[in-house]
Structure 1
Amino acid sequence: MPRLVLIDGSSYLYRAFHALPPLSNADGEPTGALFGVVNMLRATLKEKPDYVAFVVDAPGKTFRDELYPQYKANRAAMPDDLRLQVQPMCEIVQALGMPILRVEGVEADDVIGTLAVQGAAQGIAVTISTSDKDFAQLVRPGIELVNTMSGSRLDSDESVLEKFGVKPAQIVDYLALMGDAVDNVPGVEKCGPKTAAKWLGEYGTLDAVIAHAADIKGKIGDNLRAALPRLPLNRELVTIKTDVALEGGPDSLALRERHVDDLRVLYKRYGFNQALKELDGAAATAAIPEKEPGKARGTGRVSAPAATEEAPPDAALSAAGEYETILTDAQLDRWIAALRQADEFAFDTETDSLDPMQANLVGLSFCIEPGKAAYLPLGHEYPGAPAQLDRKATLEKLAPLFADPARRKLGQHGKYDLHVLRRHGLEVAGYADDTMLESFVLNSGNARHDMDSLARRWLGYDTIKYEDVAGKGSKQIPFSHVAIDDATRYAAEDADITLRLHRVQAPKLAAIPSLEAVYRDIEMPLVPVLERIEANGVKIDADELRRQSADLSKRMLAAQQKATELAGRSFNLDSPKQLGALLFDELKLPALVKTPTGQPSTNEEALEAIADQHELPRIILEYRGLAKLRSTYTDKLPDMVNPATGRVHTSYHQAGAATGRLASSDPNLQNIPIRTDDGRRIRKAFVAPPGRKLLACDYSQIELRIMAHLSRDEGLLRAFASGADIHKATAAEVFGRKLEEVTPNERRAAKAINFGLMYGMSAFGLARQLGIGRGEAQDYIALYFSRYPGVRDFMERTRQQAREHGYVETVFGRRLYLEYINKGTQGQRAGAERAAINAPMQGTAADIIKRAMIAVDAWLAGQQGRALMILQVHDELVFEADADFVDTLKAEASARMAAAAELAVPLVVDSGVGDNWDEAH
């Protein structure tokens, strides 16, 4: 049967733009969306369709705008970086031999819908390539939907019903009820997918829902009845036309011959090396769906800078792999011998949990050379599963190999695997490279550092999805129930891709010695240190936390009562909508902060901005603060105690922040407030066991010291060298006082300036923080710079260097790329300039404490368990030690922390000892 592929060009372009990191070619032209589109088109062409069309919207209004003038009125303008990629996209599509269709007066959806129905009527198998849910209304025999980026396929009533809860014939009514915020089609308020599907499941059609509107109870029923007048128009707006008058039908869309010379020029210009190799006859692998991680892998969330190459240097690194399943002792012995002979090998674990402290080992995979990998199943349990090697005996065979420091091991987010193997009796030495950390050090600003994103970025290779082998949602099975053949494809690929990524990324690091030093001297040595800290865990007093929860609940109730009294009526403090109506409509308070859609905001910043005008916003802030502490810590922490260890084990993320700072999760210990009594009370629940003490060692004003080092300002250097109170010394300089004459308010102002300038605080921000006029705040800043001219010169010098190079560096050579330093909106450029000032200080502070952790951990290794490093929070390290050993620990740890960097001013470490974290802090 002939096949027609209809490509939703706009969907492709926008999905690629938002799914992939911002990339650019050697000339700085944006290429991220273009790269994604080219990969998807190559995949489509490899399926050899008989007919194909790339359909895009024509400029100008459509019949829907005439029906409803507000249609798509809220849609944001196309981003500049995306607009620049539209014309190149069209040039590549044409060079590939694909017809491009644009029809005035209708949308691309209508053109696709018409061709799809015509094609199916002519006996042509039609595939609509899109991610737009609206097209589900077209699914019928002969017409299927394929989402090339996710790999999902809708080809029957059953598949649509499973995804949306309604059949294809009901999709239009389903969309009419929900509305579409993107297209500015208002649906029934509070009617989401489940409610729409429920109504249509009960009544069948939109007309029947309308007819029974009086029967639907509650607030949602009121909302439905209020929306009844607009629902028929909604239905018309979301219905895809299938009768557009077109010049040609499906049989006019035969794929034309490629213009190879034009493609070669375009691929070279935009740096699409893998596509170019394919064009010239080299082997390549088509793009298939993104893989869902089978275990936690670190990511960063800062926008990515330009990259000049996203394809591999060797086409073999994109070829399909050959994988073996190890089921016999002979196979295992052969692989162990090969692993012993290899200079390096990649490995990966498969487990039944994302929590490394509780996960059970289901299998191991290994790879020695790209494309050659094996999976060793050890715990697959399902009817008919083949016999597997004994886990205990097999791990004993593997133990010497993993314990051999001469055998270099590679992983992707290997800290997870180190935990799992240690808990199963395998200590790992020689963990030499981690592809997640290679990516992070190369460019910490890239949006993602997980294996699947890296494989697509560097290899042009899309890995197997976890849900492809384990299912998804309520039907997902544990990995131990996955068929071993499927598990081998998935797990062996993990090890294979890890090795391939290392082969691509390692040379890139080697080409920038400063970055390679950060990777080799800081990030890689830190991996086993963090694994030990996480495994040590921290003991908590669950009874103390329960007492705090009870107290917080009482105070929340008191805040609710006070808020009701101030409002003169009851309302839901947790409802932004009710709160907004009360504050801005009834109390007529000014809406000083808006949401992205222009509505008055009720977030923390908005309430802070009006807290001086009415008592209610302050009470709401107090209530929210108490609620957050209770839900995040006092209620939650007791449930997070590991039943096997009796401790709480947080997870640290090296690739969690672009500046290099560590992040933590489950629980997130970085966000416990330390400036409030309630935050300090929570720290009281982190306790030492009997016979032990907690020691907290904290860098004093480390970022200000780094500012003094980087700026070489004589006034700052002098203040730190003298050991004076830096904020008091700054106040004396700025206000022309003797040190002993500085008032508390003057010191407070100097402290706000000292820290504010590092974070790009404006005169407006300083004025708000200090409660003074903007002019007075501006005078403070001018006075500061007149007394510390080196700081002003450093800030301007750093901005200029960032504009010239596109990045800034820490003292140790870590880079933060700044995508918008020379482009984008004024706000984006201003944000990039603030980051340029802050990143060298915050990043250097992160590097310093990481170096300190490595040094202190090395010393602790010889102390026979008398002391443990148990927490890292911001600029602080927390230890647990025998009571009679704590003084020794304090001296040794503080000395190593102070020696972690040689700055122009001394590094000072404050420390304290106690039975709990609050006492020690």
Structure 2
Amino acid sequence: MPEQTPPRLVLIDGSSYLYRAFHALPPLSNAAGEPTGALFGVVNMLRATLKEQPDCAAFVVDAPGKTFRDDLYPQYKANRPPMPEDLRVQVEPMLQVVEALGLPILRIAGVEADDVIGTLALAAARAGSAVTISTSDKDFAQLVRGFDGGGRIELVNTMSGSRLDNDEAVAAKFGVRAAQIVDLLALMGDAIDNVPGVEKCGPKTAAKWLAEYGSLDGVIAAAAGIKGKVGDNLRAALPRLPLNRELVTIKTDVPLDLPADALKLRARDTQTLRNFYTRYGFNQALRELEGNVAPEPAPGGKGALRATAAGYARAATAPQGAPDAALAAPGDYETVLTRAQLQAWVAKLQAADEFAFDTETDALDAMRAGLVGLSLAVESGRACYIPLAHVYPGAPAQLPMQEVLEALRPLLADPGKRKLGQHGKYDLHVLRRHGVDVAGYADDTMLESFVLNATASRHDLDSLAQRYLGYRTLQFTDVAGKGAKQIGFDQVALEDATRYAAEDADITLRLHRLLAPKLAAEPSLQRVYREIEMPLVPVLARIEANGVLIDAAELRRQSADLGQRMLAAQQQATALAGRTFNLDSPKQVCALLYEELQLPARVKTPGGQPSANEEALEAIAELHELPRVILEYRGLAKLRSTYTDKLPEMVNPATGRVHTSYHQAGAATGRLASSDPNLQNIPIRTEDGRRIRRAFVAPPGRRILACDYSQIELRIMAHLSQDPALLRAFASGADIHRATAAEVFGKAIEDVSGNERRAAKAINFGLMYGMSAFGLAKQLGIARGEAQDYIALYFSRYPGVRDFMDATRQQARERGYVETVFGRRLYLDNIHARNQGLRAGAERAAINAPMQGTAADIIKRAMIDIDAWLAGQRGRTGAAPALMVLQVHDELVFEVDDDFVETLRAEASARMAAAASLRVPLVVDSGVGADWDQAH
């Protein structure tokens, strides 16, 4: 007869769960501002526990009021601080989710949760059950043991995954057997519970005494003979040791009047869990509840609480409060296949003040994608999909694309008809390339969300639907498959395509109806959205469509040169190493530098291993020539692979140009980002990096004009700080770094040396980015004390800057955000973080964001103004005398007719300078050339 598995009982130490989760995770919150960090940890650990399918379980917490230990020792736990407010408010929700998961909750007055757990554990184990106590509290180690009849008690720390299931495991961890744990704790004391032990007696000393004398009674009996200061401390503590033992002993005989089924698991309350997970943004738990993903495995060595930064971000994407059921309800979607259906939708659009639209395509590149279908929505919950190019076998007949576009053209091109989209710039490109120029693009839900709070969430449709509506959208992979078996959207069956595509238009409309009032309630944010972000959408679309001409032959020449220099660096590295090795292999580089050459590993990986990254090589470059050669090789290889080899491959065959994509909802400060290709990260500090700009050229009869703001962030600092000396320096038109050096070093401006100007420049820019004295010392190659003196001198000459920085930090702490000159906000989630590093990072961001964000707002305003002016300069043929082709940080680049260069130079510079009214003038530098490099 096979051996019968003993029944399993899991007893969960609720207080341990809550406090450990609270202190292990950063201070997360949902969109409504409710703290969620402890809840997130508790829910993850409970899910992991329940996946092991215990027969019985209980979640045990302390009951309010005093216990018998308070009567024994009035100072028991007297030094415990009150529960933090952001933890206290998570207690009740924690109990609600525990109950919804079907776990019995036990609270017994007069004793602690430990005593309830001890009593239940001992009784169950004696009756033959396998008992698991889920806790991180070391006190429970006193209960670990086996019993005749198969019963046992083990401890599992669900956070770390560690397990203590026998005397050997307890001894390996604590140095004593389970039966000696009480004596160990009595000797050591417990600072958390305010139980004073023997002074200077730590776990090693206590374990040593118990190994030698067997028990606390044995140690007490031998106390007179224990020598040294620790012996004196033991003898001084003898009167309180018996009380200590009583205080740290877990009671196992608490009278419990519990019903027979008190520890039986109940069925989950699925609806309550769904509402809870949605409210607090626990997306993985929600997907598991709905059966859309396989449950995570039970915890292994790393436990259930896998606290990664990505996990934190996902945990903080909850909808704002309990979602409106109507907003989260499925929609009613129609596939438009007949002319009658199309005309009915045209009539709906004509009668509506606004409508949402979306395109489906066969590629991600908007400049090459073919149109596959269109979706439209005029009311929440109702939408249609008009398929145009689904070509799978057996696909139903679809309306001709040109007929559909002609029917919709008057509505899409009508500036008085408000159009809504999600990341609509992509759709504007696709429709323009198919002959429809959209006008009246009025609202974009991605940008509404971004302006409301750039850091609260991702701004893609799926994330916004989950966050604001509590709605889980259909994924592309749900209809098109994954990996090698994924099909194009033109191969997706119309029923599936309709559910996916029409949902996009419907959810976009729902989101707009919810987000628009939120923006309207914040006038400063509404202005940023209406006056900067939305008007910029068509401007960026035109810049992207214009593209920039690339000289592929020049890039090939540069690639060949870089390749030769890489080979030379490789040969030099081989000579220095005395053998061949792969310069691209971090493992081989580490072995060579740190094991063979015995260079110090000054930079380590997160796992504690020596690093071979750029910072690590820079740190040892002065000790040996080889790290510098490796750095040179890598720099050349990166330029070649990222730019000189890749850019010619990215030329659009239809236009002969490279078309980057600009992202408005990328950087939280509002700065634009560029991708495919990224033209904003071309290095300009090296000659090789600058040389790449020679390949960005103008066609015959045209020139490249580059207009660049001069020291714009420093000027914004002067405006915001109102420091008199800084304002005077900019008003005079002096070299600001030389003027700063003159102030700091107490010299006439003409007597400032090159090194002094370099130091002043490092301070000017470093302070804006939160550079410390250590960082300044490293940059300038000086002692830290000298760098600190420089900073002190700077603030003594520019006290307004220090006052501004202090006031900005204070505003960030009080409001939770800082603002640009134009009212854009940057929320700082970590400004009150318990972790000093996170908090310091938030304070640095608080100083920098108003300047970087204002600079981003200014150049966006300039782009909108210049674009409008250029639109009025077209000749009788409609040809544009100039094109805006690039935006790179604080610079605008134009391709301009030879005879229009000076007109545009004067007009663009003037409009850029007038894009903001600051207390100091905005200065614009400009240059002209046959290529982008010459224009500098």
- Interval containing the TM-score (normalised by the shorter chain): 0.7 to 0.9
| 1:920 aligned partner | 935
**Equivalent residue runs for 1:67-78 within 5 Å:** none
Residue identity opposite 2:650 in structure 1: M
724 and 315 in structure 1: CA distance in 2 versus 1, 3 angstrom threshold: same
Residue identity opposite 2:267 in structure 1: L
Deviation of the 1:253 alpha carbon? 4.4
Q: 1:841 aligns with which of 842, 846, 851?
A: 851
Distance 2:690 2:31 in 1: 50
Q: Which structure has the larger Rg?
A: 2
Deviation of the 1:317 alpha carbon? 1.0
Residue identity opposite 2:909 in structure 1: S
Q: Is the 8 A contact 1:641 1:648 kept in 2?
A: yes
| 1:730 aligned partner | 740
| 1:402 aligned partner | 412
**Equivalent residue runs for 1:349-364 within 5 Å:** 349-364=359-374
| 2:626 aligned partner | 616
Please state if 1:456 is matched with 2:466. yes
| 2:912 aligned partner | 897
Residue identity opposite 1:94 in structure 2: V
Please state if 1:491 is matched with 2:495. no
Please state if 1:698 is matched with 2:731. no
Instruction: Indicate the SS of the match to 2:604.
Output: coil
Distance 2:89 2:932 in 1: 54
**Equivalent residue runs for 1:335-350 within 5 Å:** 335-350=345-360
427 and 37 in structure 1: CA distance in 2 versus 1, 3 angstrom threshold: farther
CA deviation string 1:60-102 (max 9, x = no partner): xxxxxxxxxxxxxxxxxxxx99999996665233332613799
Q: Which runs of 4+ in 1 moved over 4 A?
A: 12-15, 17-22, 25-28, 31-38, 51-59, 80-90, 100-108, 251-254, 256-260, 285-290, 300-309
| 1:429 aligned partner | 439
| 1:552 aligned partner | 562
| 1:527 aligned partner | 537
Q: 1:577 aligns with which of 587, 590, 593?
A: 587
580 and 258 in structure 1: CA distance in 2 versus 1, 3 angstrom threshold: closer
Please state if 1:372 is matched with 2:378. no
Deviation of the 1:315 alpha carbon? 2.3
Q: Is the 8 A contact 2:424 2:444 kept in 1?
A: yes
Distance 1:56 1:916 in 2: 73
Q: Is the 8 A contact 1:287 1:462 kept in 2?
A: no
Distance 2:548 2:271 in 1: 64
Instruction: Indicate the SS of the match to 1:872.
Output: strand
| 1:567 aligned partner | 577
Distance 2:423 2:911 in 1: 27
Q: Is the 8 A contact 1:95 1:258 kept in 2?
A: no
| Unmatched 5+ stretches in structure 1 | 1-6, 60-79, 109-247, 276-284, 291-299
Residue identity opposite 1:803 in structure 2: R
CA deviation string 1:421-444 (max 9, x = no partner): 000011111111101111111111
329 and 911 in structure 1: CA distance in 2 versus 1, 3 angstrom threshold: same
| 1:505 aligned partner | 515
Q: Is the 8 A contact 1:870 1:878 kept in 2?
A: yes
Q: Is the 8 A contact 2:28 2:312 kept in 1?
A: no
Q: Is the 8 A contact 1:301 1:656 kept in 2?
A: no
| 1:857 aligned partner | 867
Number of residue pairs matched by the alignment:
726
Distance 2:816 2:575 in 1: 54
Please state if 1:92 is matched with 2:96. yes
258 and 542 in structure 1: CA distance in 2 versus 1, 3 angstrom threshold: closer
Distance 2:475 2:872 in 1: 44
Distance 2:528 2:55 in 1: 49
Distance 2:810 2:26 in 1: 29
Residue identity opposite 1:872 in structure 2: Q
Residue identity opposite 1:349 in structure 2: T
Q: 1:23 aligns with which of 4, 29, 33?
A: 29
Deviation of the 1:310 alpha carbon? 2.1
Distance 2:477 2:317 in 1: 31
CA deviation string 1:382-405 (max 9, x = no partner): 111111101012111111100001
Distance 1:325 1:36 in 2: 45
Deviation of the 1:838 alpha carbon? 0.5
258 and 335 in structure 1: CA distance in 2 versus 1, 3 angstrom threshold: closer
Q: 2:655 aligns with which of 620, 624, 645?
A: 645
Distance 2:859 2:593 in 1: 45
| 2:640 aligned partner | 630
Residue identity opposite 1:326 in structure 2: V
Residue identity opposite 1:409 in structure 2: K
Distance 2:895 2:582 in 1: 44
Please state if 1:442 is matched with 2:457. no
CA deviation string 1:805-857 (max 9, x = no partner): 11111001111111111113111111111101100000000000111110010
Distance 2:720 2:448 in 1: 27
Distance 1:308 1:362 in 2: 33
Distance 2:909 2:564 in 1: 41
TM-score using structure 1 length? 0.73
Distance 1:258 1:732 in 2: 70
Q: Is the 8 A contact 2:316 2:457 kept in 1?
A: no
Residue identity opposite 2:584 in structure 1: D
Tell me whether 18-27 or 395-404 shows the greater mean CA deviation: 18-27
Please state if 1:255 is matched with 2:267. yes
| 2:749 aligned partner | 739
Q: Is the 8 A contact 1:54 1:98 kept in 2?
A: no
Distance 1:274 1:571 in 2: 49
Distance 2:60 2:576 in 1: 55
| 2:692 aligned partner | 682
Q: Is the 8 A contact 1:764 1:777 kept in 2?
A: yes
Q: Is the 8 A contact 1:348 1:411 kept in 2?
A: yes
Q: Is the 8 A contact 2:367 2:430 kept in 1?
A: yes
Instruction: Indicate the SS of the match to 1:315.
Output: coil
Cα root mean square deviation, aligned: 4.0
| 2:4 aligned partner | none
| 1:795 aligned partner | 805
CA deviation string 1:642-668 (max 9, x = no partner): 010000000000011111100000110
| 2:885 aligned partner | 870
| 2:903 aligned partner | 888
Residue identity opposite 2:100 in structure 1: L
**Equivalent residue runs for 1:706-717 within 5 Å:** 706-717=716-727
Deviation of the 1:537 alpha carbon? 0.2
Distance 1:86 1:520 in 2: 38
Distance 2:389 2:57 in 1: 49
TM-score using structure 2 length? 0.72
**Equivalent residue runs for 1:295-310 within 5 Å:** 310=320
